[in-house]
Chain A
Amino acid sequence: MSRHGVIALIPEDCTSCMLCVRECPAWCITLESHTEQVDKADARRPRTINVLDQFTIDYGLCMYCGICIEVCPFDALEWRGDVDYSTVSRVDLDQGMDILAAWG
C-alpha cells in the first residue's frame, strides 16, 4: 500500500457488486452497470455477467476514509499517491472511471 493519495479503480477487476457504493459513508461513489449474457457451449443455462459502464467518485465529498478499498472483495480499488486533481469547477471533481483508472 502506498501512502494515502487518491483512490484509483482497476476497471478490469471490478464486478459491479455495489459493495463499495453501499458502504461509502459519504455517498460519493456512483456506479452504472448492465448485464450481458455469455454463451458457453458446455453450460446448461446461459450465464449472465455484470458489465461496468461507469464508476464515479465525487472528490468534492470523498473524505479519504478508505472504506471502499477495505470492502472491495476483488481488490479493484487501491490507493495511489501524489495526484494533483484540483479543478477549476466543482462538477469536475466528479471523477469518472477513465480518470480513476489512469492516475499514477
Chain B
Amino acid sequence: MQVTPEVVMPADWRASAEAMHGWRLDLLTAIDRRESIDVIAHYIRGAEHAWRMTCVPYDGALASISDLHPAAAWSERETSEMFGVRIGEGVPLLRHDHDTRPPMRKVTPLPARVETPWPGAAEPGDDGRQGANPSRRRTRPPGVQPEWEL
C-alpha cells in the first residue's frame, strides 16, 4: 500500500473531511517538520486507503472534524496537546503543565534519550579492552535533536 497524501490548505481541512463521507477515519496524527506541523488523516473504505494532509503553522489553528468523523475526537485532542497546535476547542485534557513544551515537538528534549546510554556508541570489535577509537567522528543517535545540546 503506497498512497500519496492529498495536501489541502488548513482552511479546506473540513471540506476535505466532508468529502470523505462514507469512509472510516482510521488515524489522525501529526509530524513536526521544524517549520510547521503537518497534520495527517488516514481514511479507509473497504480495501481502499486515502491520506489527507495539511500544513499548520506553529501558532496556527485547525478546525475540528470530529462532528463529521467522531473517531477524530480523541486523536485531535492528543495531536493538539502533544504537538502544540490548536485543533477545534483545544480544551486541555492530557497536559496540565502548560509551562512545559509540547512533548512531540522536536525542540522538546526527551529526558530518557538524554539519560540513557546509547547502545550505538560502541565500536565494532571494541570490547572495551583497546579503548574507544578516537578517530571516528561522533554520530548523533536517532531521536536526539541537535538543539538538545548533549
Contacts and interface: CB of A to CB of B under 8 A. Distances in A.
Nearest to B143: A25
B125 A24 contact: no
Contacts of A23: 120, 142
A34 B127 contact: yes
A4 interface: no
B142 A24 contact: yes
Interface string B104-147: 00000000000010111011111101100000000101110000
B125 A48 contact: yes
Given A22-B139, A25-B143, A31 B119 contact: yes
A34 B129 contact: yes
B100 to A, nearest CB: 23
A15 B124 CA distance: 8
Interface residues of A, number: 22
Contacts of B143: 25, 27
B142 A33 contact: no
B127 A53 contact: yes
Contacts of A16: 124-125
A32 B124 contact: no
Nearest to B129: A34
A6 interface: no
Given A34-B127, A34-B129, A25 B142 contact: yes
B119 A35 contact: no
Nearest to A28: B119
A50 B141 contact: no
Given A22-B141, A25-B142, A34 B125 contact: yes
A22 B126 CA distance: 15
A95 interface: no
Nearest to A30: B119
Contacts of A53: 127
A24 B120 CA distance: 9
A18 interface: yes
Interface of A: 15-18, 21-25, 27, 29-35, 48-51, 53
In the complex, the 5 A-B pairs of residues with the closest C-beta atoms, listed nearest first: A22-B120, A35-B125, A50-B125, A34-B127, A30-B119
